[in-house]
Amino acid sequence: MTVKSNNDGIVTYVAKIDVSQFSTDIKIKAINSITQLMDYYKFDSSGGVFNIVNDVLTFEFKLKVTSEGYLDYFMEGKPWVIGRYADGVGTKYSIKNSKGEILTREITEKTGIDEWPIGFWLIKTSKIEQMAPADDPVIDKVIYRINHKFGLVYVEYQLKDGTKLKLNVWAWFI
């Protein structure tokens, strides 16, 4: 994953995954899921770009990165807070989608102790959970972990079919 641009804290990332090592079934599932997500979340208008060329999946997305926390633009291109470092358990961040549904992210855990592994260190994290809209065709739940020094350090996507996609996010300086 690389930074494409940083414009007043709105950072555009480009992530690339070589899918050649995966089975044909997994590749087909990925393509179908990506297509459904693009249609559902209107990625064409929100700045998210998916494509697969020569077995390399490329995904472009934007996050607002500040000293206070993170927000993304995945919900129909609208800014939505992922988490703020200083906020405590029970803090909620809500957004209204074009269908009139109120979607919420909630801090469900704040460790307060150095227990989350990153590189050779253990760090304190806040865990933020988000249920996907009921009619999301692919995703059931998303879990984020953030840290005041390293930012976003973990994302987990729990899919409707029971699959869990776990991604540790490593800062360039680790």
Which of 122, 95, 120, 100 lies closest to 111 in space, CA to CA? 122
What would the mean pLDDT of 78-92 be, rounded to a whole number?
95
The confidence score (pLDDT) of residue 47 equals: 47
Q: Are 1 and 58 in contact (CB under 8 A)?
A: no
Residue 12 belongs to a domain:
yes
Residue 174 belongs to a domain:
no
Instruction: Quick: pLDDT tens for 40-55.
Output: 877 654 445 677 788 8
Q: Model pTM? A: 0.85
The Cα 62–Cα 47 span in angstroms is 7
DSSP state of 47: T
The confidence score (pLDDT) of residue 136 equals: 92
The Cα 9–Cα 3 span in angstroms is 12
pLDDT at 87 over 60: yes
The Cα 83–Cα 172 span in angstroms is 21
Please count the structural domains in the chain.
1
The confidence score (pLDDT) of residue 63 equals: 87
Residue 173 belongs to a domain:
no
Domain that holds residue 75: 2-168
Instruction: Quick: pLDDT tens for 112-160.
Output: 899 999 888 899 999 999 999 889 999 999 999 999 888 888 999 999 9
Question: How far is the first Cα of the chain from the last one, in angstroms, to the nearest whole number?
Answer: 14
Residue 55 belongs to a domain:
yes
CB atoms within 10 A of CB 88: 10
Structure-block tokens of residue 128: 């933020």
